[in-house]
Structure 1
Amino acid sequence: MLHQFGQGPAATPSHSCIHHPIEEFAAARPHATAAEHEGQTLTYGELDARANRLAALLVEQGVRPGDRVGLFMRRSLPLLIGVVAVLKTGAAYVPQDAEQAPAAQLEHVMHTAGIRVVLTTSTYADKLPVPAGTRLVAVDRMVEEPLTPYASGFRPLRPVQPDDVCYVLFTSGTTGRPNGVAVTHRNVCNLLLTAPGDLGIRPGWRVGQILNIAFDMAAWEILGALTHGATLIVRGSDAAAAVRDADVIIATPSVLATIDPDGCTRVRVVAVAGEPCPRALADTWSRRCAFYNGCGPTETTIVNTLQRHCPTAPSLTIGRPTPNNTVYVLDPQRRLCAPGEVGEMWAGGDGVSAGYLGDPILNSERYAPDPFLGGPRLMFRTRDLGRWTAEGELEHLGRTDDQVKVRGFRVELDAVSSVLESVPGCERAVTLKTDDRTLTSFVTPALVDAEAARAAVADALPYYCMPAAVHPLSHLPQTDRGKVDKAALRRLAEEGRTA
């Protein structure tokens, strides 16, 4: 079963460093459009030439292979130049949304990642909490300078290696302190340069870039488009406008739910991950295009399972491991679970990242020697619950911390939400444990019949799974990364109890 179900197919990525195919497209098709943003365009030749010039400046500023460079700005053309420039030097980029990230978070990121150079834009150059000795470079000012011919090249101090870190992303962290995850070129190439993670993207296609740049799925948008010669449509204030004429949409289910599929007549491929996807949302989009449902934390490189969904399928699953990756469903003693048995998902293979920056204790808690692949390989504890179907696909059953005790009984919160989403008219549901004895659910849209929703739970699940209240909302609040904001929902529940 381990070999049949748990191992993804073997495949060889076309490149071992993620910026190399971008350079190749710039040489072969310099006048092709790499990106568009609010009426401005950037060709592949311009992108590469400007990135070469910026990379040379970074080296002059002391950036060396293995260093980390901050990208503290917003979605923009200068951001793309910064990404490619940093990769050319052999350093890793560390993205943060300069508009949304609190000053304390930026300070923590700079300290943890050891950042000495920050790339930004002139809008934020005077607003960032940069400590003494840290250099600021406004990329947009460089873009305005005259450009030398495309042939001007850049040679790194040493060749970039597959196991060099490509980017460092800071996750929210279970303690509230963001954790910096180091992801290598090998990790990223393994997903983006093999099928199905490449999503079939090719020259001439248009890919929406709508997500927060600090979210790992934004790397799927940006690098997924540029490594395949496509055009990246970088959103401004309106996410819907950025995908209206796109061939590919990559989003969380919460973000996708805000996009009208009737307005996306060109769409060919949609991929979602980051949180559980409602079946109705998957069915709606899969009738129009190739729809992929994926799963995987930042520590396993964006997603490590992916499944093309068919609206006639008996269930919505997260599929099988992507190429060169493995997934193990293990019991508390870390023994393999049989098909149908619920266990915790551990991930192995080429997607397992290089670990957390400066936190050996957390590394020892979440990464462990992989007894199935052996050797120096590590596996990562995802803290996601799952089980294998008889057909060898993974069903995602929520987080281990979403498996709660109510009145002494174990309840899977996602199971309650799934029943609620089966109620006619219900598009999305979230269930929370709001005190020792109480579950509270939130559903959208606001027209959902709350009593009918509670009755559906009573018919399908034991009495202790019944939410004390079901609150219909016009929309569910989102975090800055496009996921359901459960902290905001808890505050709503508290307000409801005290009102």
Structure 2
Amino acid sequence: MQAFAISSRSLRGFAPEVTVEPNPWQRFGRGPQVAPEAPLIHRAIEAQAVERPEAVAAQHQGQSITYGELNRQANRLATTLLEHGVFPGDHVALFVERSIPMLVGMLAVLKVGAAYIPQHVSITPAAQLRHIMTVARVRVVLTLSELAQAIPLDSEQQCIHLDEVIRADTVAEDELNIGSATSSADSLCFVLFTSGTTGLPNGVRVTQRNLCNILLTSPGDLGMRPGLKVGQILNIAFDMAAWEVLGCLAHGATLLIRGKDIAQTAEHCDVLIATPSILATLDPARCTQVKVVALAGEPCPQPLADRWAKFCTFYNACGPTETTIVNTMQHYRGSGALTIGKPTPNNTVYVLDEAGQLCGPGEQGEMWAGGDCVTAGYLGNAQLTRERYQPDPFLGQGRMMFRTRDLGRWTADGELEHLGRVDDQVKVRGFRVELDAVSAALESAPTCERAVTLKLDSRHLVAFVYPASTDVDAARACCEARLAYYCVPSLILAVDEIPLTSRGKVDKRLLLEWAVAHQAEQTDGGQPVRVQA
């Protein structure tokens, strides 16, 4: 197969300087060509309502809703949205908490051809909500009655209380589905606001094509089907929450929406989608019903993968929000190398060196993502879109590729090894260090289940190992045996818990605060402290 080599000049947005040369490695970068089961995700959900209207779509805190009722309520809400002037292409804020009305809101917005913007109100600062509404030019906000006071509306914005609309039973049972005739594969489904370098979040625009491509093909469908229960445990503003919610509903399974106790919900699930940090808090012995686990969002520690792969189908996946949830997946069977797998259907991955040339097996480079996973850019930020999204000279035909900022390399058998983030390559004592590689070395110690390594200052690294009973000296010895001296953390702290952010990822800011506090304790002449969450 022939491959294209592109120069670094083309990556900066100039016309690609394309040369054709034989390159056997590009075959690794192409996922299979597979047609999704439906072009619009809400049509797949509506089909489930037709086929099994009495089947339970979701359960939450003792309440449940059938597929028929979910669809009927979404039609009612869609009518209300149209009455409030919501048109195809508009943005509707979905500022809620986990609930069944949340599902009705999602489906209704999709039915009218608009895009919803999900945020968990109780944990999102008002200033951030205001920023989101301003950037997205939101005119209509969907929320719950008890949350309305927390939403900073201006005089031109309208607030619709989901629970009140749902209670107003004014629609006939046999009403036809409401839907926009203008909806297409290029229509937006939702806008997800991710952390920005300026402190304000950036909105990633996700289309129907993007979403259907991962949720309605294998392995991204995770084998979800009627009769299975899927956990809804993640923050609704996190892209993987769409994997839980819309993936479940599109395949006719039952969504278990958690309360405060994640473990209580997980123990009754057949399918779990989580970050490694969240999965690490669960006891596999109490989750014997689980049949499928999919992890993404962070590097997965090998011991964690080994523990769960013993009794369930285990997927290790990777992909930033800009490539629609995940764009690579590995079915890890409990032996061999733990990788991030291969490109998912209709997607491509290119590992490029600093000159923009394709890397061969074993050569480290930066991963660029192409294909149907590539989202429609950032909302209201054309400059950042130009920086991160570039014309794809490999696929051509006006297609775009996305600069993931992830480092990786191909194995000899065509799987991707994730080597950390470009941002996680730090300089210590003048040497370049990959923080994830240090953590992996620490995790090779027999008693260490999880490690997080951070740059403390220009000369020192700090690492946190879990559980608190980890043999710190043994972990340090493993690191010294595998890595150069400058990669060995100056400070290794055993902790009772790895703190998490609201999105289920490691809270690195809090860990650094712990390290600084520990240093201050030592400087003041106090006794060594055991760090606790």
TM-score (norm 2): 0.92
Give the residue type in structure 2 aligned to 1:30: P
Shift of 1:174: 2.8
Matched, 1:259 2:282: yes
For 1:376, the aligned partner's letter is: G
Which of residues 293, 297, 303 in structure 1 aligns to 2:320? 297
The answer to whether 1:403 aligns with 2:425 is yes
The aligned counterpart of 2:156 is 133
**What SS does the aligned partner of 2:413 have?**
coil
Deviates more, 1:105-114 or 1:489-498: 489-498
Where has structure 1 moved over 6 Å in runs of 4 or more?
Answer: none
1:343 aligns with 365
Between the aligned partners of 2:177 and 2:55, the Cα distance in structure 1 is 21
Give the alignment partner of residue 458 of structure 2, picking from 413, 428, 436: 436
Question: In 2, are the aligned partners of 1:55 and 1:154 still within 8 Å (CA)?
Answer: no
* Map of 2:333 onto structure 1: 310
Amino acid at match of 2:195: S
Which of 248, 255, 271 in structure 2 is aligned with 1:225?
248
C-alpha contact (below 8 Å) 1:53/1:154 kept by paired residues: no
- Find out whether 1:182 has 2:205 as its counterpart: yes
- Give the Cα–Cα distance (whole angstroms) in 2 for the partners of residues 65 and 235 of structure 1: 32
Q: Which whole-Å deviations, capped at 9, do the CAs of 1:167-210 have from their partners, x for residues lacking one? A: 10000123321000000000000000000000011111100000
SS of corresponding position for 1:379: strand
Matched, 1:38 2:64: no
Q: CA deviation at 1:3?
A: 4.0
Identity of aligned residues (%): 59
Contact 1:247 1:269 in 2 (8 A): yes
Q: Is 2:293–2:312's contact at 8 Å kept on the other side of the alignment? A: yes
8, 15, 28: which one pairs with 1:5? Answer: 28
Aligned partners of 1:56 and 1:154 also within 8 Å = no
For 1:291 and 1:150, the matched residues in 2 are separated by: 41
**What SS does the aligned partner of 2:123 have?**
coil
Q: Is the 8 A contact 1:10 1:324 kept in 2?
A: yes
Match of 2:449 in 1: 427
Letter in 1 for 2:199: G
C-alpha contact (below 8 Å) 1:352/1:379 kept by paired residues: yes
Q: Aligned pair count?
A: 498
1:257-288 deviation per Cα after TM superposition (whole angstroms, max 9, x unaligned)? 11111111211100000000001111111111
**Is residue 320 of structure 1 aligned with residue 320 of structure 2?**
no
The answer for the alignment partner of 1:198 in structure 2 is 221
Q: What letter matches 2:394 in structure 1?
A: F
Whole-angstrom distance in 2 between the partners of 1:192 and 1:335: 31
Amino acid in the other structure paired with 2:80 = L
One-letter amino acid of the structure 2 residue matched with residue 342 of structure 1: Q
Q: CA RMSD for the aligned pairs?
A: 1.0
* Structure 1 counterpart of 2:488: 466
Q: How does 1:29-428 map onto structure 2 within 5 Å?
A: 29-146=52-169, 148-313=171-336, 315-428=337-450
Distance in 2, matches of 1:176 and 1:391, equals 40
Paired with 2:397 and 2:203, the residues of 1 have a C-alpha distance of 26
Per-residue deviation at 1:146?
2.8
CA distance in 1, matches of 2:431, 2:423: 15
Distance in 1 between residues matched to 2:504 and 2:46, nearest whole Å: 31
SS of the residue corresponding to residue 122 of structure 2 reads coil
Counterpart of 2:365, as a letter, is G
**Which ranges of structure 1 fall in alignment gaps of 5 or more residues?**
none
3-state DSSP class of the match of 1:47? Answer: helix
Q: Give, in angstroms, the shift of residue 334 of structure 1.
A: 1.1
Does the 8 Å contact 2:302/2:338 carry over to 1?
yes
**How far apart, in 2, do the equivalents of 1:150 and 1:396 lie?**
51
Tell me the alpha carbon deviations over residues 223-259 of structure 1, each in whole angstroms, 9 at most, x when there is no partner. Answer: 0100000000000111111121111000000001111
Q: 2: distance between equivalents of 1:423 and 1:158?
A: 58
Counterpart residue type for residue 135 of structure 1: Q
Q: Which amino acid aligns with 1:172?
A: S
Q: 2:479 aligns with which of 434, 457, 464?
A: 457
SS across alignment from 1:124: helix
Check the 8 A contact 1:50/1:147 in 2, yes or no: no
Any unmatched runs of 5+ in structure 2? Answer: 1-23, 522-533
CA contact (8 A) 2:111 2:180 kept: no
Secondary structure at 1:99 match in 2: helix
